[in-house]
Amino acid sequence: MSQPRPADQGAESDRRSELIIEGLHAEVAGREILRGIDLRIRSGEVHAVMGPNGSGKSTLSHVLLGRPGYRVTGGRVTLDGVDLLDLPTWQRAQAGLFLAMQYPIEVPGVSLADVLAESLRAGGRDPAEVPALVGAEAARVGFDERFLSRPLNVDLSGGERKRNETVQLGVLRPRFAVLDEIDSGLDVDALRAVARRIEAATTEMGLGVLAITHYTRLLSELRPDHTHVLSRGRIVVSGGPELADELELTGYAGWAEEEEVVGAQAGAGGPSRLAGPAGSAGLAGSAGLAGSAGAGPPVRPEIDDPFGGPAGAGPGR
């Protein structure tokens, strides 16, 4: 595995940020899934979260972005002092949090350019920049230009969808990216292209990364500064990149308990959906289409489902 980046590299001087997760507890359908997560991620750092199936890894990503059906029962999550748990998904995205979905969905009738233009406009950036930025980012990850004019993810393979997510990340320039098994469905070439682009972002724009993965193949290109093992909703051990190498040899048997946590998707009622038009709840996987400027903060945790709920219905994830 590659060695971790030197300590003096990483965040740009004007983009030093910190994502702090403290004592995070969350449940689904009355069953506790997260049982006290503590993490501190700084600009330019890569934190890998590994663990057996059903340990709560994807639940962590859903809770961070505010997926409905997940009830936070304790703890807090802050990004540069802003309490994210009090915000709807689109405002968490505008605060600088990005989710690369494990299963990016198709969005018929909405182009990638439309999504990014609305997101940039909501963040006070010029949407006229989108064509040039998308072209440059697509070239970096080998995303075929033919796909840029299609509705978002329509008729794309799993690997192309992951490249598409990475293009969005590069254009939107979030402060922190949560990667929910971004390596799943990728062949060797696509994995290398996606991982290297995200790795480069840690130095080019100070991106902090929380990479959820089962396999060390991602971490050979996206070099972790810290590796954490999640089991039964708790981080049971943390270490450097060498911990991931150890897990590749030994597996999780030493850390998994007899009764693993039930998978969160089953508890949350299965596949989720995308919220309706731009200006409602936004795309969690695209770092948030902005909501309307006058929308007030909802009462925690009853927020519109960014994947499909009261705000509107879309294709299932």
What's the CA gap between 290 and 92, in Å, rounded? Answer: 10
* Contacts with 266 (C-beta within 8 Å, 6 or more apart), sequence order: none
pLDDT tens digits, one per residue of 111-131: 999 999 999 999 899 999 999
Q: Is 201 exposed, middle or buried (0-12, 13-18, 19+ CB in 10 A)?
A: buried
pLDDT of 91? 94
pLDDT tens digits, one per residue of 186-213: 889 999 999 999 999 999 999 999 999 9
pLDDT tens digits, one per residue of 56-102: 999 999 999 999 999 999 999 999 999 999 999 999 999 999 999 98
DSSP string, 228-269: EEEETTEEEEEE-HHHHHHHHHH-STTT--SSPPPPHHHHTT
Lowest-confidence region among 91-100, 114-123, 248-257, 287-296: 287-296
pLDDT of 40? 97
Beta bridge pairs of residue 83: 78
pLDDT band of residue 283 (cuts 50, 70, 90) is: very low
Query: In a 3-state reduction of DSSP, which class is residue 196?
Result: helix
Tokens of 138: 């697509």
pTM of the complete model: 0.78
First to last CA, the chain: 33
Q: Is the peptide bond before 301 cis (omega within 30 degrees of 0)?
A: yes
Task: Name the residue ranges covered by the structural domains of the chain.
Answer: 45-68+87-245
According to DSSP, residue 163 is labeled: H
Tokens of 21: 């997760």
Tokens of 284: 């969690």
Packing angle, helices 158-172 and 130-141, rounded to 10: 130
Q: How far is CA 198 from CA 99, 132, 204, in A?
A: 13, 19, 10
CB atoms within 10 A of CB 238: 14
3-state secondary structure labels for all residues of 99-162: EECCCCCCEEEEEHHHHHHHHHHHCCCCHHHHHHHHHHHHHHHCCCHHHHHCEECCCCCHHHHH
**286 closest CA partner among 170, 138, 196, 124:** 170
Residue 222: pLDDT above 80?
A: yes
Give percent above pLDDT 90 in the chain.
Answer: 62
CB 247 within 8 A of CB 217: no
The correct CATH number of 45-68+87-245 out of 3.50.50.60, 2.40.50.140, 3.40.630.30, 3.40.50.300 is 3.40.50.300
Packing angle, helices 188-204 and 130-141, rounded to 10: 130
